Structure 1
Amino acid sequence: MNCAHQTIFITGPTSGVSLQMASRLHQLGNQIIACGNSRQPLDSAREVVQKTLGGILLIPTS
């Protein structure tokens, strides 16, 4: 399975394994689109990812 240069949609990437998976997949050259239930945790996750990797699209669903 090719895990590089894809667009990947991840739900609930605000902490733990999901956040690490989003970060690692982004490092491999993927575009990450992620959604979660609340904006504040998504904003915190965005800050972590942007500081370390440079970009991720996070979408609140509520």
Structure 2
Amino acid sequence: HLVNPGDLVILIAYGVMNEAELRDYAPRVVFVDADNNQVELGSDPAHAPEGSGLITPRMLSTAH
């Protein structure tokens, strides 16, 4: 087994597309809570929802 019930799992999907398809592509980033309920939907892969305990890379570049 790669994962078990209760494990935190991060899913990432990649796609192959041509330039025409890429122009119309809009990525989606979905954050869920511990019960797998959607809590936030966005398109910025670097966004970290407030209160999630995650740190956006933008904050790392300004931290000293």
More strand by share: 1
More helix by share: 1
Q: Which structure would you say has the larger Rg? A: 2
Q: TM-score scaled to structure 1, two decimals?
A: 0.29
Q: Using CA pairs below 8 Å that are at least 6 residues apart, which structure has the higher relative contact order?
A: 1
Q: TM-score scaled to structure 2, two decimals?
A: 0.29
